[in-house]
Amino acid sequence: MNETWLKALILGCTFGAVLLLVEVLANWLASTRTEGKAINLRLKMIAQGVDRERAMSLLRRRASALPSNLPPFLQNLGQKLERMLISAQVTIPTGRLILIILLAPVAILFFILVIMIVLGIPLALGRLLMIATFAGAVGAFLPLMFLQMKASRTRKKMEEQFPVALDVFVRGLRAGHPIAAALDLLTVEMPDPIGSQFGVVVDEVTYGAELRDALQAMADRWDLDDMRMFVVSLSVQSETGGNLAEILDNLSKVIRERQSMMLKVRALSSEGRMTAIMLTILPVFAFSFLFIMNPGFYLDVADDPAFLPGFVMLIVMYVIGFITIRRMVDLKV
């Protein structure tokens, strides 16, 4: 084969490779755009083949409701956990998630104990307490703190999106759409989290629930005063009549002014809230990281007689400080 044919073959192979690469990239971009049309979690679940009733059940967590015969303390904790999971948009059933959180520290503790027995490291009460604390921090506390932070961000985004959703709803009403159709606009036009939550409302109404009850259930799930004002406005308008679009337009302005005041309060309290976050997460994170990197730093002093009462007192003081800081930065506007 002469040099001319060799160059032509190389150029032809290069052209084919570039053409194939361009086609692959074009197909990838097309598929990404197709998946991107589902702008919220509910639409993504439906696009993936999940039944609408199943998606509704996962998003509102009605199928994972806690037993009614629990003690009041555990019932309140379970309701707070479910509300946090709704805010964090976690679709894992509550019972399964609680089981994972309970079993993870036990599994970590068992794994460390097996390693210590294999290596011939002696076990004492102080060391067992230290290892159990580490297992609880890594297996339960840090994951719950991550879910709490994600839920807080989602609730903040929900509060920011709600006036925009009211504006879209008002425009739909002024364009001549009925209330149900105007709500359906929010399910396809608004991103998460508010798009999925209004989608749950539309699905509940589709399956026979009253619109007021469905909206009230959404307000109870998220525990937001703005949503409750929206439900009250709809209820009053349905009983007394009036221009619903104008009522909701005024409500949107009130909510925006309330949010402006809340932002001022958050700005003034930002130092305290950041201090609370650092004092809550940093000790647990530092303890877990140091225990992983250098376990002897703690285990070598765990046999000291003063270690056990000192460590228990340290945990009690941390819990008291955690509760006190949370109450200090929990501002209501």
pLDDT at 224: 83
Measured distance CA(269)–CA(329) in Å, rounded:
7
Q: Which of 12-26, 105-119, 139-153, 269-283 has the lowest mean pLDDT?
A: 12-26
> pLDDT value at position 67?
61
CA angle 76, 78, 80 (to 5 degrees): 70
The pLDDT of residue 35 is 46
Residue of 56, 329, 94, 73 whose CA lies nearest to 206: 56
pLDDT number for residue 248:
86
pLDDT at 78: 73
Q: Which two tokens stand for residue 277?
A: 């976050």
- Band the pLDDT of 3: cuts 50, 70, 90: low
Instruction: Quote the tokens at residue 74.
Output: 């555990």
Please check the confidence at residue 68 and state whether its pLDDT lies above 80: no
Lowest mean pLDDT among 170-174, 204-208, 328-332: 328-332
The model's pLDDT over 285-308, given as tens digits with 9 standing for 90+, comes to 888 888 888 888 888 888 788 888
Min mean pLDDT across 57-61, 84-88, 150-154, 218-222 is at 57-61
Q: Cα dist. 222→161, 253, 263, 287 in Å?
A: 13, 21, 19, 34
Q: Are 56 and 200 in contact (CB under 8 A)?
A: yes
The mean per-residue pLDDT over the stretch 206-220 comes to 83
State the Cα–Cα distance between residues 70 and 36, nearest whole angstrom. 43
Q: Output the DSSP codes for 46-84.
A: HHTT--HHHHHHHHHT-TTPPPTTS-HHHHHHHHHHHHH
pLDDT single digits (tens) 132-161: 888 888 888 888 888 888 888 888 888 888
Instruction: Output the pLDDT for position 34.
Output: 46
- pLDDT band for position 38 (50/70/90)? low
Is pLDDT of 36 > 50? no
Residues 6+ apart with CB under 8 A from 138: 104, 105, 108, 288
According to the model, what pLDDT value does residue 220 have?
83
Sign of the Cα torsion 161, 166, 172, 178 reads positive
Token digits for 99? 């089981």
Distance CA 201, CA 209 (A): 9
Looking at mean pLDDT, say which of 105-109, 233-237, 324-328 comes out highest. 105-109
> 169-173 long-range contacts, Cβ below 8 Å, gap at least 24?
169/248, 170/245, 170/248, 170/249, 170/252, 173/244, 173/245, 173/248
pLDDT of residue 189: 80
Which among 248, 82, 232 has a CA at the least distance from the CA of 168? Answer: 248
As a whole number of angstroms, the longest Cα–Cα distance in the chain is 93
Q: Identify the pLDDT of residue 196.
A: 84
pLDDT of 93 reads 75
